[in-house]
Structure 1
Amino acid sequence: MTLRSMLRALLAALLLVGLPSAATTMLRLGITELSQTADTVVHGTVRRVESRWSGDRRRILTDVEIEVTEALKGKPGSTVLLIQAGGRVGDIGQIAHGSASFTQGEEVVVFLDRRGASAFQLTGMAQGKYQVRHAADTRSALAVPENTQDVLLLDPDTRQPTASTQRTLTLQELKAAIRTALQQPAQEKAQ
């Protein structure tokens, strides 16, 4: 190896170390925007989470089947199939920053965009998922927004970096906020 090629290799390594890690950038969405732009909003239980190769075998996709307890918007049927990028097949994994994580048996409220005839994707990626957690007395439940720390959120008006406005609510408060948002005139979709 020549001195010149060693210097090039060292320079390339230094550049890679000095670059910030990649992140997903998207507009911040609140409950009103999520509710109004989603095709379907459901409260349900995750029945199946399964990762698989895409048809061209270049990407890993994860199928999440959710049994619908209540349709808050749309007419989704008794189950919905949510497909999102990323997952693990055997020893190979792919990460899609900004995606939500799901576990079998988990209770959720999800905001969904139609993706083909029988499948959906999350509206606003991880912003479109709330996990339902029941208190020890099982009479009260909290709706906890998915963590969006690996996402750069932009204010929809100023396009400047901002923090998420989502916060933990009671399940009843979340459902009431969704119903209120659906009664308001629809806001224009951000471009």
Structure 2
Amino acid sequence: MNPIYHLLRSYGISAALIFSLFASSSSATTIIAPEFGQLVNRSDYVVRAKVISSEPELRISGERRRIFTKIEIEVLEVIAGEPPQNIVLEFLGGRIEDQELRVSGMPRLKVGSESILFIKDNGLVLCPIYAMTYGHYPIEEEPETKRRYVSRGDKVPLESVAEVAKALTKVDEMDAPQLRLKRSRAFTPDEFSREIRATRKSISLREKN
């Protein structure tokens, strides 16, 4: 049997997740893209937040050795749900000296970055972002106009909520004119927040009726 499989199993990682670690090209091969309503409805809370710090941590339990990364965020806007006052997100994976564990499809949250995050079961699962990369929406800025816009986890600008359910692609596969046009049409953070609130509200009303 593959020795790398044994190494990953020593981290306490399930066989299914190990399969996803070996998946070749993109997270879309192992993660099902949710519909927008599903993303909004199944998240515990949705926030626009800035990453304050990122700290890796080695956890040892018997023969199991697992690297987790704790990411502290500053909430700039509560969009839906009721988040706790202080939020430290816990992700499987990270790097400590020469040891590194990378998980395919895991969102990459860098210190100083701002994103809209769909959070579920923080501290109880391997990734607290619902549907992993599909629940991570970085906020970018147009180089020419300085207009702020929302992108998907693959950095492709988000134009409509219908695009949430599409497979992720690669922004570097788009030509420059196409990318400029998509940036100009993409949601601003406020526009995307309004779409989230409207969907959450409509779901709540249906549940009451």
Following TM superposition, by how much is the alpha carbon of 1:58 offset from its aligned partner in structure 2, in angstroms? Answer: 1.5
Distance 1:183 1:132, change over 3 A: same
Q: Give 1:89's aligned residue.
A: 96
Structure 1-normalised TM-score?
0.68
Aligned to 1:102: 109
- Would the alpha carbon gap of residues 100 and 72 (structure 1) be closer, same or farther in structure 2, given more than 3 Å must change? same
How far residue 80 of structure 1 moved from its aligned partner, in angstroms, is 1.3
Which residue, out of 172, 178, 181, partners 2:196? 178
CA distance in 1, matches of 2:60, 2:192: 37
Question: Which string of whole-angstrom CA distances, capped at 9 and with x for unpartnered residues, describes residues 138-172 of structure 1?
Answer: 87311111129xxxxxxxxxxxxx7249x953212
Structure 1: how far apart are the matches of 2:35 and 2:74?
25
Match of 1:158 in 2: none
Aligned CA distance change for structure 1 residues 131 and 183 (closer, same or farther; 3 Å): same
| TM superposition score normalised by structure 2 | 0.63
Q: Percent identity?
A: 27
Q: Which amino acid aligns with 2:154?
A: N
**1:12 maps to what in 2?**
none
The structure-2 alpha-carbon separation of the partners of 1:115 and 1:44, relative to structure 1 and needing over 3 Å to count, comes to closer
Aligned to 2:121: 114
CA distance in 1, matches of 2:152, 2:87: 20
Q: What is the Cα deviation at residue 26 of structure 1?
A: 2.3
Residue of structure 2 in register with 1:43 after alignment? 48
Q: Distance in 2 between matches of 1:72 and 1:137?
A: 28
Unaligned runs of 5+ in 2: 1-21, 156-165, 170-181, 205-209
User: Structure 1, unaligned stretches of length 5 or more?
Assistant: 1-20, 149-161, 187-191
CA distance in 2 between counterparts of 1:76 and 1:55 reads 29
Identify if the C-alpha distance between structure 1 residues 100 and 116 changes in structure 2 by more than 3 Å, giving closer, same or farther: closer
SS at match of 1:126: helix
The CA RMSD measured in Å over matched residues stands at 3.0
Q: Which has the larger radius of gyration?
A: 1
Deviations 1:47-74 (A, max 9, x none): 0111111242521111111100111112
Question: 1:67, 1:78 within 8 Å by CA — same for their partners in 2?
Answer: no
Partner of 2:207: none
Q: Which amino acid aligns with 2:68?
A: L
CA distance in 2, matches of 1:39, 1:77: 11
- Describe the SS at the equivalent of 1:59: strand
1:177 Cα offset (Å): 1.5
- Higher RCO by CA contacts (8 Å cutoff, separation 6 or greater): 1
Aligned length: 152
SS at match of 2:115: strand
CA contact (8 A) 2:50 2:75 kept: yes
Could you tell me whether the CA contact under 8 Å between 1:34 and 1:123 is conserved in 2?
yes
Residue number in structure 1 paired with 2:187: 169
Higher helix proportion (structure 1 or 2): 2
- For residues 103 and 91 of structure 2, what CA distance do their matches in structure 1 show? 8
